[in-house]
Each structure stands twice: as C-alpha cells, then as structure tokens.
Structure 1
Amino acid sequence: MNNFITVNIVSISELLFSGNAKFVLLPAEFGDIGILPGHVPLISLIRTGMLKIICPDDSEHSIFVAGGILEVQPKEVTVLADTAVIATELDEVKIIEARKKAEEVLRNNKDRTDIASVEMELNMLAVQAKTVRKFGKARVY
C-alpha cells in the first residue's frame, strides 16, 4: 500500500499546493478532519481555519482557508477553497488594519445585512491573526 496521498489545494485564483502527503488536517464543516492515505471517500464543506499538510519528508505546509469544498478519495484529497493563503504570506499589519475598518463599519452601521457580513469578516480576520501568530510573519509593536 502506498503511504502517501496526493493533495491539491486550489483557491479561486491559484493552485496553492500540489503534491504528496503523509497526513492532512483541515477544518471541515463539523470539526477538524485528519486524513491519511486510504481514507474513506468523503465530501464536506470547509469552514474558516488552518489546513496543515505533512509531506513525505516530514516538512509541513500551513494554509489559511475560508470556505469551500473538500473531496477525499482513498488516494487523493482535493480542496477547492473560496479563500486560501499560504500561512507565511499573511501580513499582520494588513490584518490589523482590516479589522479596525470592519469594527468601524460595525459601530456606524445599523443594517442587519451589513452587520452579518462584517461579523463574518471579523471572524475570518481573527483566524488569520491567530494563524500569523503561529506560522506567519508576526510583527512585534
């Protein structure tokens, strides 16, 4: 039996990862899922969080994902993400600026539709900030 699984991580705009892995951990709709070679077939929505890939050489790749679809087959994992960014490419300064703007909109806007949208954005920014602190280019002020 092959000890690896082929993994493809695709966002709307680009292919972020394509290669073999020993293990994949990702945020599925109802909780985190760990995937090993030979996993049973599965389709799930993806929630906002960190996707982690362990390669055959034990190197790790971390990718922030927000929304999308996961398909698992015994020899292949495909993630079609609405939003995906390699963890080390996240910029804490930009995240902080975006969070401040979103909080300002929340304070000044009473439209329920806008509020729900801004709250979703704030949730995504909170996960990105957590990702930066763990894997990305965190800056100390």
Structure 2
Amino acid sequence: MSTIRCDIVSAEQEIYSGQATLVVATGELGELGIAPKHAPLITRLKPGKVVVTTESGQQLDFAISGGILEVQPQVVTVLADTAIRADDIDEAAVRKAKEEAERVLAGRGEAMELAEAQQKLAEITAQLQALERLRRNLKH
C-alpha cells in the first residue's frame, strides 16, 4: 500500500508527523481527501477536523482552528493556527469556553468581541466534534 508523509504543525509546535494512506480536511470549498500521488495543491482550511488514516488503518483525529493545506508529491502539510489531537482535548475546559463564547454572542457585545467569540466558538465546536468522533471510534 502506498503512503504519503503527513505533517500537522501549529504556530507553537509540531502536532503530528507520520505516514498516511489518506488525509481528510475541510477546505474553503468543502471536504478534501488527499491520498498518495495527489496532484499538488494549496488551499485554505476552515476550522474543523483533520482525520489522518495511518498505514495500519488507524484514524487519528485533530481539531484545527483553520490554516493552510499544502500537498506536494511526497508530503501533505497542514499549517494550522492552532491544532490539537482529539486525545488531548480537555472536555470540561472546552465546554466552559463554549458557554463563555455563547454568552458574549447572546449579549451582543462590541463588534470586535463578537468576531472573536464567533471564531472561538468555531474552534470549540471543532474540538467537541473531534472528541465525539474519538468516542464513537473507541466504542467500535
């Protein structure tokens, strides 16, 4: 089975580097599935999840806050503003942050505060979705 190297990095650190048979992410125009021998590509990513399927068939879930996806002949690179493995998500902290963002949005704060709250809510939603997917995969 052929593979392609996948690197996921954030502004702070390298999150993942390894061989993959498939990388799925959400681009501006929809879902992208990157397999070995994919044509070169650069696109922006929406906040959401990135799913990496390893050589063994294991699916690794990551939540990102948006960024850039670059596909080269031998490597797929996800350059994310922030990224976290689903395994590392602190559910209690994420739910608290979600409540805070929703409170700001409901209170109709200042425009800048609203934009920040909307961005934060998109990041939090991506983390919760990654966490739920991880739980479903563990039950199977």
TM-score by length of 2: 0.88
CA contact (8 A) 1:91 1:132 kept: no
- Structure 1 residue 131 displacement after superposition: 1.9
Q: Aligned partners of 1:44, 1:120: CA distance in 2, in Å?
A: 19
Aligned pairs for 1:106-121 (under 5 A) are: 106-121=105-120
What residue in structure 1 maps to residue 64 of structure 2?
65
CA contact (8 A) 2:64 2:123 kept: no
What residue in structure 2 maps to residue 23 of structure 1?
22
SS in 1 for 2:56: coil
SS in 2 for 1:119: helix
SS in 2 for 1:110: coil
What residue in structure 1 maps to residue 83 of structure 2?
84
Aligned pairs for 1:32-43 (under 5 A) are: 32-43=31-42
Deviations 1:88-134 (A, max 9, x none): 11121111111122222334453122112212211221222222222
Q: Percent identity between the aligned chains?
A: 33
> How many residues are matched?
135
Query: RMSD over aligned Cα, in angstroms?
Result: 1.6
Q: Which amino acid aligns with 2:90?
A: D
CA contact (8 A) 2:64 2:126 kept: no
- Structure 1 residue 50 displacement after superposition: 1.0
Aligned pairs for 1:122-141 (under 5 A) are: 122-135=121-134
> Larger Cα Rg: Structure 1 or Structure 2?
1
- Structure 1 residue 49 displacement after superposition: 1.0
What residue in structure 2 maps to residue 102 of structure 1?
101
CA contact (8 A) 2:65 2:122 kept: no
SS in 2 for 1:135: helix
Q: Which runs of 5+ in 1 are unaligned?
A: 137-141
- Between Structure 1 and Structure 2, the one with more helix by share is 2
TM-score by length of 1: 0.87
